[in-house]
Amino acid sequence: MIVERAWRIELREDLIELLEGGSAARILSRPGGRGGWEAALADARKLVQPAAAWELHPVKEILHERVVLQGGAHIGGGPVAAVAAGASELVVAVCTIGPGVGRRVQELQRERQAMQALLLDDLGSWAVDMVRQQFCRRMEEEAAAAGLHVSTCLSPGESEWSLDDQRVIFSLLDAARIGVTLGASLVMSPLKSLSLVMGRGSGPMGHEGGSNCDFCAVRDRCVYRNRRAAAPGKDVQ
């Protein structure tokens, strides 16, 4: 298993416009709004601790909607088998920004600092997605350098792929090495964590390029999709 912590997450003043869209000006114009944003940004800069862990698992076959791994594990459903079609290996990964942001959000909620808590929570969600995007770009570049292909990344629960496969992912990867565990309800701890898979092989994959947004169940009404594409730092290694 590989662990990497050197991900660069840029936390810029103008991120509020990307994260909050048309509401940004209204938030900043409220009494204490700008101070709340600056405080949330300062908290995020102090508390975000990005990390990713991943491992490659040989693929035995693709059977119906499931990818069957050499060790006997079955994973998939929804678009997974179609996206990873042609893969000889499956990249299994977990990304996180650590527990600090989530703990601070809870503190702010207890202190009735609702707006600052919301802004910090949004920053945390953006930061862990930036870890995912940088990770996926790294996999694409490493594969290209080796003359290989990788599929679009997919995460359980973000498409028709059931969240139940979180159990399979955590059985294939020792995510505790980056401080991430899976609860009985399939919720990861810390909350600002996510899991994903990507197919890899010598030939074309079922779907390459793009992002997990292409398969998300709410992609047509998601207010963050276009903002995510414009986010600073998404291509930074």
* pLDDT tens digits along 78-117: 899 999 999 999 999 999 999 999 999 999 999 999 999 9
Supply the Cα-derived Rg of the chain in whole angstroms. 18
Q: What pLDDT is recorded for position 28?
A: 81
Q: What interhelical angle do 100-110 and 33-47 show, nearest 10?
A: 150
What share of the chain in percent tops pLDDT 90?
A: 71
Q: What pLDDT is recorded for position 220?
A: 52
Q: Give one DSSP letter per residue of 217-237, joined into a string.
A: TTTTT-SSHHHHHT-TTTT--
Between 21 and 176, the more confident residue is 176
Q: What pLDDT is recorded for position 208?
A: 87
Contact assessment for residue 162 and residue 80, using Cβ atoms and an 8 Å cutoff: no
* pLDDT tens digits along 185-237: 999 999 999 999 999 999 999 998 876 666 565 555 445 545 555 554 444 33
Domains of the chain: 2-229 (3.40.109.40)
Q: How confident is the model at residue 153 (pLDDT cuts 50, 70, 90)?
A: very high
Taking the CA of residue 162 as centre, how many other CA atoms within 13 Å lie in the half-sphere pointing to its CB? Answer: 11
Listed residue (51, 20, 50) closest to 34, CA to CA: 20
Angular region, 108: left φ>0, alpha ψ -120 to 50, beta rest: alpha
Weakest-pLDDT range from 21-35, 58-72, 156-170: 21-35
207 three-class SS: coil
Residue 17 and residue 19: Cα distance in Å, rounded?
A: 6
* pLDDT tens digits along 115-148: 999 999 999 999 999 999 999 999 999 999 999 9
Query: What secondary structure letter does DSSP report for 92?
Result: E
Q: What pLDDT is recorded for position 233?
A: 47
This prediction has a pTM of 0.87
Q: What pLDDT is recorded for position 29?
A: 82
Contact assessment for residue 6 and residue 12, using Cβ atoms and an 8 Å cutoff: no
Q: Which amino acid is at 113?
A: Q
Residue 209 and residue 163: Cα distance in Å, rounded?
A: 23
Q: What pLDDT is recorded for position 226?
A: 52
Contact assessment for residue 97 and residue 128, using Cβ atoms and an 8 Å cutoff: yes
136 three-class SS: helix
Weakest-pLDDT range from 64-68, 126-130, 156-160, 190-194: 156-160
